[in-house]
Structure 1
Amino acid sequence: MGEGTAKAFADIGEDGTPYSVGLAFTEGALNALPQHEPGEYTLKLPSILNIPPYNHMVINWMPHGHEPDGIYNRPHFDFHFYFINETTRKAITCMGADREICLKQPDPDKLPPFYVGGPEGVPQMGWHWVDMRSPEYNGKPFTTTYIYGYYDANLIFIEPMITREFLLKKKKFEQELMLPKTFTHLGYYPQKYSIHFDKTRAMHFITLKYLKEMQ
């Protein structure tokens, strides 16, 4: 990615309990990125690790941001953690007959408090839901936010979204997360996410932490 590398990681206890999952990338990964077209980088946890519901991760680089205009139209990364496999994800179009499936309303218990769905779904991703309490919806510029993603009324991904500018500042950040009451894909869900730059290793870490098993 860029002039660097990226990888998925997990922190596992001696008893096999996962404490966190995340994405890490070197300083150079923020340099020499595509300037006009989006970039996409797919990653997976090491094969010896099986941490449900995580199937694969995709880092999407958005050099011009995306809609809604005036909020997310800043150069940023979408750090997607998908619960479905790549074949299923790539079959999502959110257009034609698939649009109705993509925008099918989830049951209230499957939604975190304060989240609202966007006007349309995104091909090969799904329907993005945003926290209306986030700073970018309350008069402040977008720096980082946390998205829940749905398809066919089920949660299929979670997504920290972070501007390149914020990452370059190398500030520590941690936020407590709102969780739905019920899940289709059972497994370990984060209660917080953090952004951290490790000076010793010269790496950025995007971490989903304090994983809670949802059954």
Structure 2
Amino acid sequence: MNEPDSVSVVMSKDALQGLPEANGDKMVWEFTLPMPGDGPQTGYDHVVLDWNPAGHIPEGVYSVPHFDVHFYLISHGEREAITFHGEGREMAMAAPDQQLVPTGYVIPPDAAVDRMGMHGLDPAGSEFHGKPFSHNFIYGYYKGELIFVEPMVSLAFLQSLPEIASPVKKPQRYSYPAWYPATYRVGFDAGKGEYTIVLQGLKRYD
């Protein structure tokens, strides 16, 4: 059937050594990862791996060193054109249909980021209840459409050599045909010396 079961970002153990620190205006290091041309097609166009050495808003929640792993459903060019400034701001920040937002998620207006999108957050995460941030799952929006899914993982959690799988809260529908995850996994393979951040239990939604 050639149906995908999972899609992963893999980092070597050495990749977490000597990571750059925040430096003046340079607060985020961005790495664009193309999807493989062969094998099953997942519907994801590319992945953007962001290293945030000082974290980001909300302050006191995600203001710790961490990685954002954006699986984009739109093209690189479309993503590069995302902006929340100028005369198109109102359309850019249009609220998505509630069917595109999982129950309980919120979309703060200050979580709109150029070249990225608006971020739907899950306030049920332990980081919103007095515990240090370890991992959570984000949905991204632009002009009312769901454009990315995003596991977020702290550096400290990766360094603990974890092996966890967490269920993904799903919306009632999606904006783009693709294979969407039932769970996401964060793990470390000691034999290979590799960290993996995985969307798994994929199911096709049109």
Q: Distance in 2 between matches of 1:53 and 1:113?
A: 24
Identical aligned pairs, as a percentage?
Answer: 37
Q: Figure out how many residues of one structure are paired with residues of the other and give that number.
A: 201
1:68 corresponds to 2:58: yes
Q: Displacement of 1:32 after TM fit?
A: 1.6
1:146 corresponds to 2:137: yes
Which amino acid in structure 2 is aligned with residue 127 of structure 1?
M
Deviation per residue, 1:145-181 (Å, 9 max, x gap): 1100000111100111111111011111110011111
Which residue matches 1:43? 33
Which residue matches 2:16? 30
Q: Distance in 1 between matches of 2:12 and 2:115?
A: 26
Which amino acid in structure 1 is aligned with residue 11 of structure 2?
F
Which residue matches 2:49? 59
Runs of 4+ in 1 over 3 A off after TM superposition: none
Q: Distance in 1 between matches of 2:37 and 2:178?
A: 17
Q: Displacement of 1:140 after TM fit?
A: 1.4
Which residue matches 2:115? 124
Which residue matches 2:71? 81
Which residue matches 1:166? 157
1:93 corresponds to 2:83: yes
Alignment TM-score, normalising by the size of structure 1 = 0.90
SS in 2 for 1:116: coil
Alignment TM-score, normalising by the size of structure 2 = 0.94
Maintained 8 Å contact 2:79/2:116: yes
Q: Distance in 2 between matches of 1:42 and 1:48?
A: 18
Which residue matches 1:114? 104
Maintained 8 Å contact 1:80/1:159: yes
Give unmatched runs, 5+ long, in structure 1.
1-14
CA RMSD of aligned residues (A): 1.1
